[in-house]
Amino acid sequence: MTEKFSHFDDSGRAKMVDVSEKPASARIAIARGQIHMQPATLEMVREKAIPKGDVFTVAQLAGVMAAKRTAELIPLCHPLSLSHISVELELDQALTGVNITAIVKTVSRTGVEMEALMAVSMAALTIYDMVKAVDKTMRISDVRLVEKHGGQSGDVYND
């Protein structure tokens, strides 16, 4: 089986994949992740009692901003015009933490998986940054793509 890796040229150097011949289509990616914390910390987040401010609002904005700047941070990622980004945060008592979900949409020649994953990751890191003075034991986990729609590879469901 001979496979050619798409991010390497014939000399083995890294390259951006040429997607100019692919048709543009509607693309959607959904990613999820979690941040675990102490029960008292979760209650402080719920009550908006964290000294740095409203954790959810800042984390949502950070996730949106990160999705928009993904190509600046991941070297071979295509810059995309995104048509929709949502970052949803949900307190979870059973988890003792926060569930993070990002939905990213575009019409393009390439998918938005990296943008959705970046949004979840940055939202989690922002929560960590805002809450670390109160809880040094937080843990970010399970950042993953859960759905992808559009493109040649079709629909993917991972959750």
Contact predicate 112/28, CB 8 Å: yes
Letter for the amino acid at 95? L
C-alpha distances in Å from residue 116, one per residue of 29, 53, 135: 6, 25, 27
Element (H, E) at 107: strand 97-108
Active site residues: 129
HSE-CB for 23 with a 13 A CA cutoff: 6
Q: Where would I find the H helices in the chain?
A: 39-46, 55-68, 70-73, 113-131
Centre a 10 Å sphere on the Cβ of residue 56 and count the other Cβ atoms it contains: 22
Residue 111's closest CA among 9, 8, 22, 40?
Answer: 22
